[in-house]
Amino acid sequence: MKIRNLLLTLCISLSQCYQVVMAESASLTFHKQQVDQLTNRVTAARNKVFDDKRILDQAAYHSLTLQKKYETAKDDYQKLIAFDADSPGSVRFEDLSNKRTLNNKAYAAYQDSLNEIMTLQNRLAQSSISLNSTQNALNTAIGSLKFAGADEVDIQLRERKKAFEISQKVPVSIDYFCTEDQTFKQCKSTAKERAERSAIEKGAVVTVSSITKMRDLQIESELVKSEVNANIVKKESVKSSHIMGGDFGGIHYEMIATVEPYLSDTMLNQIKNAITLEVFGKYIAVFSSEKDTETMAGSSQSTNDFLAKLEKENQNRLEATRRLEAQRKADEEAKARHAEVARQEREKEEENALQRRKAEERQLKKKTRAPVLVF
């Protein structure tokens, strides 16, 4: 805000500059708010993906337990059916019915767990798609914030540069004494150069108080002096005259120079970095972490791969369910065939037993028949 206040102060007399800065600030504020909102939405969406994945893993583990229970119940039931087929009549009907009921319940529970897994997989897929969409929107918002912030930094840097590079009139008056090996013309030229150098040194002064947050910029006052240069753009009241003194005389040179200072690239980069920190603030961390947002659905490609994997798992589970259903039907049909064969064998055995009893009864009647009396 200190840099903002300084910039507005510098531009207060220029309504056009003031309006441009404020417009850029409104745009920058909008993009920052958008990034904040989308960042929160991405965090919520990512947490939902993690929660859905955790619930899916728990459901898969529970389904595996139910599968083992179903396989155990199925094995027990098939063994009892086989024993009943081998030893007709040795297994009570109630025992066989109980085993069949347990097998059917175990199968139904396992089937329900598979259906739940498919539902949870679809929910996870939708959560991943939502996360990917929100992440893409956040990346777009971050890009817009970068562009808006870059424009803001450039505007502030130009205005700061204007504030620093203010020309000023510098009066200079020097006496230069000639040396033995100099001609008068050379002595006069040297005096002129010394005067110009003095004017530049005086005019190329940017006070520390002119640079906001100098400590944050990490620039010492000596560096300020070394990184600020100047040009003489105009000379007025130029006078030069011969003076006595020294061994060979000298030149008195005076003028009023208009000096225009300018900042070196090193100094401008330092100031630009400080403005960038002020403009973006906490969002610099967002920029640096932008490439580290890879999650389960962190990019379109990773999301597509993940969804393709989910679809493949769904198809595999559907195929496994179809195989289990076919196996269950085959088991039921085999059980029905075994039961029918056992019933027919029992009926045949009962019929044979009945015929044997009838034959025995006839034989018994013949033996016990009363004797015939002859008169």
Convert the pLDDT of each residue in 14-57 to its tens digit: 333 333 333 357 888 898 999 999 999 999 999 999 999 999 99
Tell me how far the alpha carbon of residue 215 is from its chain's centroid: 35
The residue among 47, 66, 38, 13 whose CA lies nearest residue 141 is 38
Give 216's pLDDT tier (boundaries 50, 70, 90). very low
For residue 81, pLDDT over 50 is answered with yes
Q: Distance between CA 130 and CA 307 in Å, rounded?
A: 12
229 - beta bridge partners?
262
| Rounded average pLDDT over 338-347 | 78
Whether the predicted model's global pTM rises above the 0.75 cut:
no
* CATH code matching the domain that covers 2-162+296-367, chosen among 1.10.10, 1.10.1580, 1.10.287, 3.30.750: 1.10.287
User: Chain-wide mean pLDDT for the chain?
Assistant: 76
104 C-beta neighbours (distance < 10 Å), count:
16
- pLDDT value, residue 9: 34
213 phi/psi in degrees, rounded to 5: 55, 50
Backbone angles phi, psi at 282, to 5 degrees: -65, -20
Would you state the pLDDT for residue 305? 58
The predicted model gives 127-154 an average pLDDT of 89
Nearest to 283 by CA among 67, 36, 42: 36
Total Cβ atoms within 10 A of residue 223: 14
Query: Which of 13-17, 122-126, 161-165, 363-367 shows the lowest per-residue confidence on average (mean pLDDT)?
Result: 13-17
Percent of the chain residues past pLDDT 90, beyond the cut: 18
Q: Identify the weakest region by mean pLDDT among 12-16, 64-68, 70-74, 261-265.
A: 12-16
Lowest-confidence region among 10-24, 125-139, 308-322:
10-24
Lowest model confidence (mean pLDDT) among 36-45, 184-193, 284-293: 284-293
The tokens describing 243, both together, are: 């003076």
Span of 185-194, 214-223, 248-257, 263-272 with lowest mean pLDDT? 214-223
Give me the amino acid identity at 114.
L
Q: Predicted confidence band at 314 (pLDDT cuts at 50, 70, 90)?
A: low
Report helix, strand or coil for 154: helix
Tell me what pLDDT residue 313 has.
Answer: 62
Which residues, in sequence order, are CB contacts of 272 under 8 Å at separation 6+?
A: 153, 157
**What whole-number percentage of the chain has pLDDT above 70?**
76
The arithmetic mean of pLDDT across residues 305-315, rounded, is 58
- Give the model confidence (pLDDT) of 349-373 as tens digits: 888 888 888 887 777 777 665 454 4
Q: Domain boundaries in the chain?
A: 2-162+296-367, 166-263
